[in-house]
Amino acid sequence: MPVEKAHALVNLLAEHNIHGLMYVDDTMMYEEATGHVTRTLNWAQKLPEEQRPSFTQVDSLIQAAQEVKSVWKFALTDEDTQKLNIFANHAAQTLDLECEWSWHDQVDIARKGNSKGYRLARWVESQGLSMKDVVAFGDNFNDISMLEAAGTGVAMGNADDAVKARANVVIGDNSTHSIAEYIYTHLL
């Protein structure tokens, strides 16, 4: 994300009292452990230590954004989803950023064009392949663009109905072996 847009977004977050994770360089920074931050911290603790992402609590995201090399994206959360939706729309319009819901109370904000579907399509194209031959698996709102772009979009059984409706196939939950079973049954 361009530095000036990251700084402007961090200032907007402070003005609107919205919290979340700021993905930078090689860590995720946050001021307060709320919503998505807490979920992500808890999830990370379940991973083997060598696979755990890095988290850094900071006193000020505004100051931290000025000290890092790169800001990749923000994952924002708020219990008031209407407030979050208004904020995301405002950020998208005024800063020309990509806002993609990744959970019912979370929106990811990044450089325009950084949706999973767009990035996957660009990578597939760079490999000389076709999206019609791609199978993509997803379980969240931010996976919808990828599920729709792929030749076969496969939604997980635990996904929201809105995500399932945009996929070609729905399989079991992501806590089961359903992805492996789908691969062995349909792709190998």
- 92-108, pLDDT tens digit by residue? 999 988 888 887 788 99
What sign results for the dihedral spanned by CA atoms 97, 98, 102, 103?
Answer: positive
Q: Whole-angstrom Cα distance, residue 170 to residue 159?
A: 9
Q: Tokens 């609107």, residue?
A: 16
Domain residue limits, the chain: 3-111, 116-187
* Whether pLDDT at 3 is above 90: no
Cα distance between residue 99 and residue 2, in whole Å: 15
- Phi/psi for 59 (5° steps) reads -75, -30
Mean per-residue pLDDT over the chain, rounded: 90
What fold is seen in the domain 3-111? Answer: 3.30.1240
Sheet containing 135-138: order of strands: 135-138, 152-155, 169-170
Maximum CA extent, the chain? 52
Contacts of 71 (CB under 8 A, 6+ apart): 1, 3, 6, 22, 23, 24, 65
The residue-averaged pLDDT of 126-142 equals 94
pTM: 0.76
Place of tokens 């807490």: 38
- Rounded Cα distance, 105 and 140, in Å: 12
**pLDDT reported for residue 178:** 94
Closest listed residue to residue 109, CA positions, set 33, 27, 187, 2: 2
| Architecture of the domain made up of 116-187 | 3-Layer(aba) Sandwich (3.40)
